[in-house]
Amino acid sequence: MKSRMPCLIGLLGGVLLATAMPASAKTVAMPPLSRSAVEIACARAGGSAYGVRDSETEYGCRTRESSVTCAPDGTCFGYVPDLARLPANSLDAVLGVIVSGKPIKVGPVDSRITPLAQP
């Protein structure tokens, strides 16, 4: 019994530590989005929009599971839970409005990779 006690205490500590840590999220590169598009999609998703009325500040939307943040110049990134199904990098898909189809892997943004030129 005494030899099992350290294992049980270690296991209990590991479980407590794992449940206290926040879930990781993946970053999704988004196309440029207007303030009005973010506000409309946010209302559809039932989230809370911020900064859409002030042209000088960062703007975006937060829902229970995800968020979209845009710089004043329109550069946007989405943040979704690591295990979320994400069929595309559209605003609706990131905010959870439309989730259909098979999930695809969304990796980190790499500026060295560019799309192929269409003939």
Encoding tokens for residue 15?
């479980």
Encoding tokens for residue 106?
């969304």
- For the chain, the structural domain boundaries read 22-95
Please, are residues 74 and 32 in contact by the beta-carbon 8 Å criterion? yes
Specify the length of the chain in residues.
119
pTM: 0.60
Beta bridge partners of 77: 29, 69
How high is the pLDDT of residue 16? 47
Match 């500590």 to its residue by tokens: 13
Encoding tokens for residue 85?
């199904």
How high is the pLDDT of residue 26? 83
How high is the pLDDT of residue 58? 94
How high is the pLDDT of residue 103? 58
Query: Which residue type occupies 112?
Result: R
Written as tens digits, the pLDDT of the chain (119 aa) is 556 666 556 555 555 444 444 557 788 888 899 999 999 999 988 999 999 998 889 999 999 888 999 999 888 999 988 877 765 777 878 887 655 556 556 566 666 666 667 66
How high is the pLDDT of residue 111? 66
**Separation of alpha carbons 96 and 62, rounded Å:** 11
Please, are residues 68 and 34 in contact by the beta-carbon 8 Å criterion? no
**Separation of alpha carbons 3 and 62, rounded Å:** 49
